[in-house]
Structure formats: C-alpha cells, structure tokens
Structure 1
Amino acid sequence: MANGLLNLVNIAVYLLNSLVVQKNNSDVKKCVSNVNYWRSQCPSSGNIAHIISKLRGTQKNYRGTTMNKLMIGGVLLLLSAAPQAMASVITNGGFTDCSYNGWSKDTDGAGDISVLDDFTITSGPNCAAELLVDAGNTEAWFANTLFQNISLNSGEQYQLNVDLTAGSEFSSADNGFIADNFVVAFGDGTGSYYGADGQLGSVFNADIDGNTSYSLNIMLDETLSAFTNLSLEFQLLIGFDEFGSDFGGSFLQVDNVSITAVGDDNIAVSAPSQALLFGLGLAGLVFANRQRSTGGDQ
C-alpha cells in the first residue's frame, strides 16, 4: 500500500478516535482502517454521504459545538481527498484552459513561426490541440510538431496515456491520394526519435487515411529517465511521392496526455494535502489535550 495513503488513513483513524466516534459506526471505521473496503466502497459520493450521516448521528458524543463542526469537516475532507494519484509529468495535458500553455510548437524545424492554422485549439467544452498540414491555410512544407520537455525520475516505472484523432481530407478511395502520417515519440534535442523502449524509433506512428481515433496506454522503459533533454513529441508530416503531395489537408488532435508513475508506492500526497494533514493532526492533539484536562466527555 502507498505510504501517502497510509499516512492519510492513520491520521483519519487518530482523529476519529480523538473525537470519540461510537464503536458501532462500522462504515466510518471500515473506511479509515480497511484498505480493501476503502478502495471498493468509500470513494463514491453515495458512501461519503452515508459516512457524513453516521458522523452527524454521533455528534452528541462530541465535546464543543464549534470544534465538532471543524473536526467533522476536516475529517470528511481528508476522507474525500485521500485516494490521490501521483500528478502527471505533463503540464496541461488535457488542454483544459483551451490553450497551449506548457507546450511548444514547431513548424519545419524553424520554431513557432506559423501565423495561420498549423496549430489550433478545438472548441470547448472539451478542448484539444489540433495540428494541421497540407492545407491551403497552413505554412508547413514538411511537418508540424507539438512537444513538451519532461524529466523522469530514475528507478520509477511510468505509463504514457494519450487520446488521438487523425483525419484526412482525401482517402484511399480517391485517385491520387497520398497519405500524410503522424508520429508519437520521445526526442533528445538532437532530432533523433525514440520509442517507449528507449531505443531509436517511435512510440506510435500511423498513416492517415480518413478519420481514425486512438487511445494509447503504453508502459515506458526506465532507460528513458537517463535522457537529459527528453521531450514528448507529436509530429504531423506531409506525405509525398515523386510528384509532390496530394494537397489534401490532414489533422491530428491530441488530448488527455499524461505520463504518470505507476505502482502502489508512487501514490503521492500533494503540498496542500500535507498542509491539511498537519492542520488536522494539530487540531486533533489540541482536542485530545482538552479532553484530558477536563476529565473527558461531558
């Protein structure tokens, strides 16, 4: 079990004991002491509501109205926030603010030079990045690339998750069709691309023939953490033959990008949660000391 979740559960148990929760509150007791019960039952809003009801039902056994409300609220906040996964290495992977914040754009290796529609954001409410090539309103002659520099911790296992949608104006049903294509890969700052195994190649690539969606969930080799200039890159390339391209536009939509550490030991507690734990722990100690000084419950 993750150390972060253990700490949260232990604090919750201590606080509930400090509040003298009745022993027959089996739902509350299970949620803060039994990991399997927590994972299968406690995270749902319905069960949290049931726990709230149980806690309120025992409020007469608590000492001090103001302290009751503060402690109950704190414990419930702790319970609802406990199952927290480690944050993604990627910034703004869901493009939730409908912008390219955290990302870099490149056209034909010249940097972010396009003033046309090479890079756009799809309309809300679920915004996504969209790369476009080989159309009349684009500047790229060869490729558009969306990338973000990242850093992976040595010795940790990571998983890449991303949703992609690719589409083309023409398809193999049209005469003269030349497929554009896209690549998902890791870069090292030299122009070389690497796959999930840390070897030269790509994580994923495909020709674009009509509209297709992909959902990638790929484990990454630990050797990638040794790269000092590592980046995750999405590249959309124009297809050519000896006569040029087919001048039919193709797009690549990128959304829900995340790279997260996997395994129980990689569940982390964020800084706000640590502050919450400290505050709740301090409140529990103060309350327990008050009980001792006044001889317990009244």
Structure 2
Amino acid sequence: MKVRAFITAVCVLLFSVDGYSSIIDNGDFQRCDFQGWHKDTDGFGDPGSTGDFSINNNAGDCSAVISVDLLEGATAFNANTLFTALDLTVASGGLQLSFDWNFSGFDDGSLLADSFFVSLSNGTGTLFNANGEHGHLIEATSLYQSGAFSALLDPSFYNQTNWTLDFTVQGGFNPTSVSSKLMIDNVLLTSVTTSVPEPSTLIMLLIAMVGVISQQRFNSNRG
C-alpha cells in the first residue's frame, strides 16, 4: 500500500462524520403542499392561486415547482422566489445543506434567457454562498440540466437568526423567454458531528502509520 493512500484511509477512520435528521420543515415536500415555505413574485409576496408555484405529485412522491411559464398562468415579470427559514442552532459539530434540482423549459439559453440561482439570505438584500461570502450556492445559469447540491455551511452562520434558503427563477428578456421551470426536492439541513476514536485506537493507528512510513523508507534505501 502506498503511504499516501494509507494516510488517507487513516484520516477517514480518525474523523468520521455522523448525520442527524433534517431540521427543515417539509423539505422533501411529502405533505404535497408548501407548508413551511414562503412564496414571492416580483417582490410583492405570495401571488395566490397562479401558475408561478405548484406541487408536482407523482403518485404521492411530491416536489416543488417554480415557474416563469406564461403559457401556464405564471404572472412573474421579473422573478419568482420560493424560500424557507433556517434554524442554524448549533451546539457542537456543524450543518450540512443539500437539495436536488432540475431546471427545464423551452428558452434558447442565450445571455438574456430564463435563469435560476440558489442563495442564502439574511433579509438585507445581499445574497451569500455556503462559505459566508457574497454570492450564491448555485450561480445564475440558463442551462437546462439537473443536479444535487451539498455543502457544509461555514461556522459564521451557526447560531445566527433571520436566515433563509432562497430558490429563485428569473424571467428572461428574449421573445422566446416564455417557459422555464425549476423543480426542487429533498431539501435538507442536517446537523452533523465529527467522531474521534478512543485514545487506544488512535495510538494503534499512529503506530501503524509510522510502521508503513519506515518500511517505505527502508525499501527506498535498498533500491
């Protein structure tokens, strides 16, 4: 076994991460409604019964859909945002944020096409990424594709209040910018903790590491 590979394996054993249940209410949308979530259209709040926000119900397996689809009753001129409040209380360990997304539609993908982005917000108008810097969790994109996001939040967020997770679909300004949808599901904010082995286990692992390094040096000297 190469030394680098062995050290990597030891590090995995030394510091393993355990996850606990999600602390986002209805993040998987399995209630098949928007309970625990808030809707905003063009900065004017919940648009009511329109095509801007909907629940995709696939035989009880539900997900949320944010639209700028004028052909199906969406009313947003600028943007639709679906957001939820975050409980960032941390006694120890950290917070892992994850979600699944799918962006689809019939725009042309050009500079002024429909787009979406995902951010953390504290209500000041400034948006942030997982590192606590100005930006987005997912930068604005017009590409129709799907993906899964996962990141450990920077400790600067821990135990702060008034933070939300925002999913925004921005309407485009092309003649063909009439139909795009962002589907989101499995939104999780998970409390994680780092497990450290017992002192005896740690000593044994360190001895093994020293032995492998010594053997590597011995073989090198013989060569």
TM-score, length of structure 2 as denominator length: 0.72
In structure 1, distance between residues paired with 2:88 and 2:38: 19
Counterpart code for 2:178: G
Counterpart position of 1:236 = 169
* Residue correspondences, number: 176
Matched, 1:255 2:185: yes
Partner of 1:184: 118
* Structure 2: gaps (5+ residues): 1-12, 196-223
Structure-1 separation of matches of 2:188 and 2:33: 16
SS in structure 2 opposite 1:262?
Answer: strand
State the distance in 1 between where 2:85 and 2:52 align: 20
Deviations 1:203-250 (A, max 9, x none): 1124233x411111111101112542101111111123xxx5533210
Residue 98 of structure 1: aligned partner: 32
Following the alignment from structure 1 to structure 2, what is the Cα–Cα distance between the partners of residues 142 and 156?
39
Correspondence 1:213-232 to 2 at 5 A: 213-225=146-158, 227-232=160-165
Instruction: Say which of 127, 135, 141 aligns to 2:77.
Output: 141
Give, as a single letter, the amino acid of the residue that structure 1 aligns with 2:168. Answer: Q
Whether the 8 Å CA contact 1:157–1:219 is kept in 2: the answer is yes
Distance in 1 (alpha carbons) for counterparts of 2:142 and 2:177:
14
Corresponding residue for residue 57 of structure 2: 123
CA shift in 2, pair 1:195/1:85, >3 Å: closer
Matched, 1:160 2:97: yes
Amino acid at match of 1:150: L
Q: Within 2, Cα distance between the matches of 1:212 and 1:232?
A: 21
Unaligned runs of 5+ in 1: 1-35, 37-83, 266-298
Q: For 2:22, what is the secondary structure of its paired residue?
A: coil
More helix by share: 1
CA distances 1:236-274 after superposition (whole Å, capped 9, x unpaired): 11123xxx5533210000100001122246xxxxxxxxx
Aligned-partner SS, 1:127: strand
Identity %: 34
Q: Which has the higher contact order (CA 8 A, sep 6+)?
A: 2
- Once residues 191 and 245 of structure 1 are traced to their aligned partners in structure 2, the CA distance between those partners, rounded to angstroms, is 29
**Which structure has more strand as a fraction of its residues?**
2
Aligned partners of 1:144 and 1:227: how far apart in 2?
A: 26
Contact 2:19 2:191 in 1 (8 A): no
* Secondary structure of residue in 1 paired with 2:102: strand
Query: 1:135 corresponds to which letter in structure 2?
Result: L
Q: Distance in 1 between matches of 2:79 and 2:160?
A: 24
Rate the CA distance shift 1:156–1:263 in 2: closer, same or farther, 3 A: closer
Q: Distance in 1 between matches of 2:127 and 2:68?
A: 20
Q: Given the superposition, is the C-alpha separation of residues 190 and 177 from structure 1 closer, same or farther in structure 2, using an over 3 Å criterion?
A: closer
Specify the code of the residue in structure 2 equivalent to 1:191: G
TM-score, normalised with respect to structure 1: 0.55
Q: Distance in 2 between matches of 1:156 and 1:108?
A: 38
- The verdict on how the C-alpha distance between 1:156 and 1:231 changes in structure 2, with shifts beyond 3 A counting, is farther
